[in-house]
Amino acid sequence: MTNDDLISNSNDDTKTIEKPTQSILASQQRHMNTSNESVRRHVRIITEGENMDMGKWLLTLNKLYDDRTYSPSQRVIYTVSLLNEEQKLWYEQNKDEIKDDWTLFCERLEQYIHSYKPAGTNLLLNDTSVLNNTTVVILEDLIDSKFNKYSGVGDAKDWLLQTMNQFKACGLRRDDQFEAIPLLLEGDAYLWYAENSDAILNFEIFTKLFLQQ
């Protein structure tokens, strides 16, 4: 075998290794983006006129991160994206100390908020986020506590109208309503949804198919 053949084979081997690696990295990035969006959608709000408690907010996020096996650095980076500009500036000034330590980040952030926030004022998070001066809850908890589930028994149209009115009362946006669908169904109704989920791309399609069943 000539040197040219050896070089050619070596290049082929390198390409073979690079392609799976690139594919894995791309898959991981897609998973991360999807997971981030899921976190953003799952952290929902119920306005109760109370001040936001930073400790409770961080505990809520931590549970979501645990469910999605986020690394400490991913938890820090994504949480920073939810903060307002002043809080992001605080992080920039302290990130060399915090590094990727999620526990230390939470401790330092709580200390900063408590020392910075005047008594009786609300904690302001990023205005582009759905998180603001409210108590944070998990979407599943909201569905379990505020909604009636449908198993396929009873009037589907009446249930759907009641559910849509409850969506409005809870202030859930359209994307929240869409994600809530499998949480609202059980029994035969859930099996129907599982069989048709590929065709259900948004809440409007769900409504149309649901009333036709």
For residue 84, tell me if it sits in a domain. Answer: yes
Residues 68 and 101 in one domain: yes
For residue 35, tell me if it sits in a domain. Answer: no
Domain residues for 71? Answer: 41-116
Residues 51 and 90 in one domain: yes
Residues 45 and 106 in one domain: yes
Average pLDDT of span 90-104:
93
Residues 46 and 107 in one domain: yes
Token representation of residue 123:
């904690």
Question: What pTM did the predictor assign?
Answer: 0.45
Residues 178 and 198 in one domain: yes
Residue 116 has pLDDT above 80, yes or no: no
The region that residue 109 occupies, defined by phi over 0 for left and psi between -120 and 50 for alpha, beta otherwise, is alpha
For residue 142, tell me if it sits in a domain. Answer: no
Residue 45 has pLDDT above 70, yes or no: no
Domain count along the chain: 3
Percent of residues, the chain, with pLDDT higher than 70: 65
